[in-house]
Amino acid sequence: MGAFSIWHWLIVLLVVVLVFGTKKLKNIGADLGAAVKGFKDGVKSGESSADDKAAAPAPQVTAAGAAAEKTTIDVEAKTKGVFELKKTSAQAWTQGAAIYWDNTAKECTTTTTSNTLIGKALVAAANPSATGVVRLNG
């Protein structure tokens, strides 16, 4: 009583064909076959790329190559926004003061001589403070 006989399965198949139609079942079968083929191709290409990576010899590092790598650094620089930056600690900033970049000392300053304007002081900064809040011009 628990197992279906062949006649039960044939009746179920007949009902499915009547409900969905042979054309719809054919399309479903074709889509399923294409999906299985794509999966197999993906597995094969994944295995071959893993084999290629394993077979590739490790690059040798020389002293000259290491020195060349140290001279080139990729950075992402932001030119707009509000940032807390290092400042000349001997200067007091007022809110709205023009802020310049001192490339020699690598810090922000209010001194205009030989420096590049980068933005405005967003808030006042006291004389002994090491940082200040700057809105960059961009």
Segment 29-82, tens digit of pLDDT: 888 888 898 888 888 877 766 555 555 555 555 555 555 556 677 767 777 888
Is 136 within 8 Å of 83 (Cβ atoms)? yes
State the Cα–Cα distance between residues 16 and 33, nearest whole angstrom.
19
Residue 91 has pLDDT above 70, yes or no: yes
pLDDT of residue 120: 92
pLDDT of residue 98: 92
In tens, the pLDDT along 115-138 reads 989 899 988 888 788 888 888 876
Kindly indicate the confidence band of residue 89, based on its pLDDT and cuts at 50, 70 and 90: confident
State the Cα–Cα distance between residues 50 and 103, nearest whole angstrom.
47
Is 97 within 8 Å of 120 (Cβ atoms)? yes
